[in-house]
Amino acid sequence: MKRTLFGTDGVRGTANTYPMTAEAALRLATAAGQYFRHGKARVHRVVIGKDTRRSGYMIENALTAGFLSTGMDVVLLGPIPTPAVGMLTHSMRADVGVMISASHNPHHDNGIKFFGPDGYKLSDAAEAEIEALFNSGVDLCLPDNIGRANRIESATGRYVEATKATFPNGKRLDGLKVVIDCANGAAYRAAPEVLWELGAEVIPIGVRPNGYNINNGVGSTAPETAVATVLEHGADMGICLDGDADRIAIIDEKGNIADGDQIMGLIAARWAKSGVLRGGALVATVMSNLGLERWLGTQGIGLHRTDVGDRYVVDAMRRGGFNLGGEQSGHIVMSDYATTGDGLLAGLQFLAAMVEVGKPASELAKVFTPYPQVLKNIRFTADKPPLETVTVQAAIKDAEASLLGKGRLLIRKSGTEPLIRVMVEAEDQTLLRQVIDDMTRAVRDVA
């Protein structure tokens, strides 16, 4: 079954515009409720978390009503990171978990992500079945079977304790000054608390959400504020999370920014050396830098690539028995500890390396020299997808021919926005610029 409602990471759109309306959220919850009940005569439970967007109140209430109408009990977690929802779905023996968030997008967007009872995001097939129920309608439960809802206050505390437990036994962060940028998002309470309880001197920014400032000039997609704060306070390092805290960027003491590729490289090498890297490989997407792949090869570590989306990374990890994967954008999945990307966990792994080897962040945050890489996002409004046009296909063929053996071209439609994403890598800067300019022009001409 083909999916049109679900994208690469759940359902996403502009708040109060289909499919991010209260009506659509209610219908989606009734469809998911019927799918996860499976006709079993027992109590069914869903846990619902959210980030700090104003529209989260509207979506949360609509989802709650939909699930209750199908006989599912609802547990409301409040503002909490996406990985915490995956963890609590499993630990609370829930049938399904839901995170209301548009991740790194601005406040006027929102999204709905589903987790299965094992705490992992749903497969394409499961999402397709839910979408079919969304379109066809469901039978609501009898009045006596309507579910009940309650809000728990311990969700953040549970996540804090589980996160701290991943830090090496007996180690502390005493003497380290750490900037933590929570993007005015879901981790604004949990992340500073974890670092403080482990002994760090914490300088928090992006911890005053007002419903509209999530990801606005702060967070992993806007790390400039954190860079300035690290330099101003003479901090040892900085951690930037995004709005739902499932991705990270690291800032060293000199203000340099390390992306997900560098962080994954560091963790993979450390885990391989200590014998805990399962499968002898890292799982990453087609977006990860060619420099990472070649450097891993020198360390005797493989790289398995997947389509873009941390869900596809996790699928490949589970199929192949790997325990480390992620994306250049900062989603880093460590399946020994979590079922999805967790920026705070990745930050703790980096801090553990600093503590154990006694080196500054600048010596750990650049493990390989990346190939020059340019990414362009081109918004389109055309009825026909640009990638299906003859002129764009011809331009792709020409670009691949010129890059053969010298670099890579990746061009794809975004799964969450009306964008064509064009990425070019090449050792030769002149060639790189020529290819990216030609591809951008070809797409814009038909967009």
Read off the pLDDT of residues 195-225 as tens digits, 9 standing for 90 and up.
Answer: 999 999 999 999 999 999 999 999 999 999 9
| 287 vs 42: CA distance, rounded Å | 44
Q: Which residues of 403-418 are buried (b: 16+ CB within 10 A; e: fewer)?
A: beeebbbebbebbbbe
Question: Partners of 121 in the beta sheet?
Answer: 115
Residue 86 token pair: 């995956």
Q: State the average pLDDT for the chain.
A: 95
Q: Is residue 5 part of a domain?
A: no
Tell me: pLDDT of 385 over 90. no
* Active site annotation includes 103: yes
pLDDT band at 447 (very low <50, low <70, confident <90, very high): confident
Distance CA 431, CA 440 (A): 14
Last residue of some domain: 128, 153, 178? Answer: 153
How many residues are given for the chain? Answer: 447
- Position 398 in a domain: yes
Query: Containing domain of residue 77, as a range?
Result: 11-153
Q: What is the CATH number of the domain that holds 231?
A: 3.40.120.10
Confidence at residue 3, expressed as pLDDT on a 0 to 100 scale: 80
| DSSP annotation of 20 | S
Tokens of 313: 């990374």
Domains in the chain, number: 4
Q: Would 171 be classed as within a structural domain? A: yes
Q: Is residue 41 scored above 70 in pLDDT?
A: no
- What does the pLDDT average to over 45-74? 98
Is the pLDDT assigned to residue 292 strictly greater than 90? yes
Mark which of 127, 153, 179 sits at the end of a domain.
153
Residue 234 lies in a domain: yes
Same domain, yes or no, for 166 and 246? yes
For residue 381, the model assigns a pLDDT of: 85
Who's near 161: CB < 8 A, 6+ residues apart?
none
Task: Give which of 423, 285, 264 is closest to 350, Cα–Cα.
Answer: 264
Q: Are residues 146 and 174 in the same domain?
A: no
Are 328 and 287 in contact by the 8 Å Cβ rule? The answer is yes
Using the 3D structure, point to which of 257, 283, 306 is the last residue of a domain: 257
pTM of the model: 0.91
The pLDDT, as a whole number, for residue 1 is 62
Cβ(118)–Cβ(87) under 8 Å? no
266 & 187 share domain = no
Asked, for residue 144, whether it belongs to a domain, the answer is: yes
**Candidate list 55, 69, 101, 103, residue with the active-site label:** 103
